[in-house]
C-alpha cells in the first residue's frame, strides 16, 4: 500500500463537492460531522459507476452483470474486514447502519441468551440506539438494563463499572466514542473487565470509525458496529462484526431470500455466515460506496487527521474562554474533535438557526442522548463536530457567529 500523502485539510476539501457551495449567502462551514460526514467525489463516482455499468442482483444471477456486481460486493466485504482487522470476512455482516446492527444483536443474541434476572450494563454516554434495543430485549426476556455511571468530566467510571460486574451481567454495551461529548472510551480495558466477569461486550463504533484505526482483535470485544455514512460513505449502510462462534449460535434476525439454505412447508434451514443475517436484496451500491470510502481513507494520514481535529477542538476551547456565559459540556480525558456547549440566555435551537443564517451548520438538541443531558441537567447543547476537511477558519467563523448571537440576545 502506498504511503499516505502529507496531511493538508485545505487540499482535502477539494475532494468533497458539497463543500464548494454557499449557504444563505455565505461559504458553507459544515460542522455536523458527528451526524453524518460528507462524501468525496470518488465515493460518489463509485456508486454512480455501479448503477451505470454493473447494476444487477448479487449471488443469484447467471449473467455477466450479476457476476461483476457479486465480485464488487464481496470485495467490499473483504475491504471492511481488512480495515477493522477481522480474522475472516464472514464475520462482517451488512446492515442498514449501526442502529440496525445493535437491534440485530439485541434481538438475535439477546432473545437467545438472556434470562430473567440477567443484567445488561449500558453507559450514560450512549446514543439511544444503544439503549432502547436493550430495553426491548430486557422487556422480552425479564432481564434488566443497568446504567454505568460516568464522571463529571464525561468519562466512564471504571471503578463503578468494576463494582457492577458480577455473575448477573451478561453483556456490557458501550460506545467507542461519545457522539455528544467526544469521549474516547477505553474499550479494550472494558472488554477485559467484562470478560473476566463472564460477560460479552458490544462496542458501538459509529463515532470512532472515521477518527482512529479500529482493530477488533486488539479491542477484544464480541460485537463491533458502525455506519458507513459517518465514514465518508453512503447512508443506509452499516456493519455488524461479531465473533464467529457467537454469530453461529444466533438465529436469523429477518427471514426471506438469501438467508436460507432450504425451504419447505415442513421447515427451513439457514445459510452459512454471513448470509444467514442478510435477508433480501442487499444495499449493493452502499457496500461498494463504503469500500470506496475506506480506500479513500487509506490515502490519508489518519493520525495526522486526528491530531488536526483535536487542534480544532483546542482552538474552540481557547476561543470559548473569551465569551461570558459559554460553558463546554464535558471535559473527557481523551476525546475526538467534538465541542458541545451551552450559551447562557440563548436556547441551543435559536443559536443553531442564527448560525445557519451565516452558512454554519451545527447540531442542536439532545443528540439522541437524553439520559446524558439529564445527567448534566441541560435540555440540550450546541454541538460542533470536526472532521479532516475542517479548518481553523471554520472555527473562527463559528465563534464569530456565536459572538453575533450573543450581541443579538444580549
- Residues annotated as catalytic are 368
Whether cis (ω within 30° of 0) applies to the bond prior to 274 is yes
Rounded CA-CA distance 229/407 in Å is 36
Q: Are 326 and 345 in contact (CB under 8 A)?
A: no
Rounded CA-CA distance 51/213 in Å is 31
CA–CA distance from 122 to each of 80, 169, 371 (Å)? 27, 11, 11
Rounded CA-CA distance 346/408 in Å is 10
CA–CA distance from 26 to each of 20, 355, 397 (Å)? 11, 11, 10
Rounded CA-CA distance 233/107 in Å is 27
Distance of CA 407 to the CA centre of its chain: 36
Helix axes 392-409, 348-356, angle to 10 degrees: 120
Rounded CA-CA distance 114/144 in Å is 10
Which of helix, strand or coil describes residue 89?
A: helix
Q: Indicate the DSSP class of residue 119.
A: E
In the sheet that holds 338-343, the strands lie side by side as 326-328, 338-343, 381-385, 363-365
H-type alpha helices, 262-391: 284-298, 302-320, 348-356, 370-376
Helix axes 41-49, 284-298, angle to 10 degrees: 150
Tell me which residue of 37, 58, 52 sits closest to 283, measured CA to CA: 58
Q: Are 228 and 235 in contact (CB under 8 A)?
A: yes
Q: Please state the φ and ψ torsions of residue 236, each to the nearest 5 degrees.
A: 75, 20
Q: Are 211 and 192 in contact (CB under 8 A)?
A: no
Q: Looking at the DSSP assignment, which residues form a beta bridge with residue 204?
A: 175, 225
Amino acid at each position: 500500500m502506498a504511503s499516505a500523502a502529507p496531511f493538508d485539510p485545505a487540499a482535502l476539501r477539494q475532494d468533497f463537492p458539497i463543500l464548494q457551495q454557499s449557504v444563505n449567502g455565505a461559504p458553507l462551514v459544515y460542522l455536523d460531522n458527528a451526524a453524518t460526514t460528507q462524501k468525496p467525489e470518488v465515493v460518489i463516482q463509485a456508486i454512480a459507476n455501479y448503477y451505470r455499468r454493473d447494476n444487477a442482483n448479487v449471488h443469484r444471477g447467471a449473467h455477466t452483470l450479476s457476476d461483476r456486481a457479486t465480485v464488487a460486493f464481496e470485495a467490499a466485504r473483504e475491504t471492511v474486514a481488512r480495515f477493522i482487522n477481522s480474522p475472516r470476512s464472514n464475520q462482517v455482516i451488512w446492515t442498514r447502519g449501526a442502529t440496525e446492527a445493535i437491534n440485530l444483536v439485541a434481538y438475535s443474541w439477546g432473545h437467545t441468551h438472556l434470562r430473567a434476572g440477567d443484567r445488561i450494563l449500558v453507559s450514560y454516554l450512549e446514543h439511544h440506539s444503544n439503549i432502547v434495543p436493550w430495553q426491548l430485549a430486557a422487556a422480552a426476556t425479564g432481564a434488566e438494563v443497568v446504567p454505568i455511571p460516568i464522571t463529571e468530566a464525561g468519562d466512564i467510571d471504571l471503578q463503578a463499572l468494576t463494582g457492577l460486574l458480577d455473575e448477573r451481567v451478561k453483556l456490557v454495551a458501550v460506545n467507542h466514542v461519545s457522539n455528544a461529548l467526544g469521549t474516547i472510551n477505553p474499550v479494550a480495558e472494558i472488554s477485559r473487565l467484562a470478560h473476566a466477569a463472564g460477560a460479552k461486550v458490544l462496542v458501538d463504533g459509529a463515532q470512532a470509525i472515521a477518527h482512529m484505526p479500529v482493530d477488533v482483535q486488539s479491542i477484544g470485544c464480541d460485537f463491533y458496529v458502525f455506519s458507513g455514512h459517518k465514514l465518508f460513505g453512503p447512508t443506509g449502510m452499516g456493519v455488524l462484526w461479531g465473533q464467529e462462534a457467537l454469530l453461529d449460535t444466533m438465529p436469523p434476525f429477518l427471514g426471506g431470500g438469501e438467508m436460507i439454505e432450504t425451504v419447505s412447508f415442513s421447515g427451513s434451514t439457514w445459510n452459512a455466515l454471513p448470509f444467514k443475517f442478510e435477508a433480501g436484496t442487499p444495499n449493493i451500491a452502499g457496500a461498494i460506496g463504503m469500500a470506496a470510502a475506506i480506500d479513500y481513507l487509506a490515502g490519508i494520514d489518519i493520525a495526522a487527521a486526528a491530531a488536526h481535529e483535536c487542534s480544532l477542538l483546542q482552538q474552540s476551547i481557547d476561543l470559548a474562554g473569551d465569551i461570558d456565559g459559554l460553558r463546554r459540556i464535558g471535559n473527557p480525558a481523551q476525546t475526538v474533535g467534538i465541542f458541545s456547549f451551552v450559551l447562557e440566555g440563548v436556547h441551543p435551537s435559536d443559536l443553531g438557526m442564527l448560525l445557519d443564517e451565516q452558512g454554519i451548520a451545527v447540531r442542536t438538541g439532545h443528540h439522541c442522548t437524553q439520559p446524558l443531558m439529564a445527567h448534566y441537567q441541560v435540555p440540550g447543547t450546541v454541538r460542533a463536530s470536526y472532521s479532516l476537511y475542517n479548518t481553523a477558519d471554520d472555527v473562527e467563523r463559528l465563534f464569530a457567529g456565536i459572538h453575533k448571537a450573543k450581541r443579538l440576545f444580549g
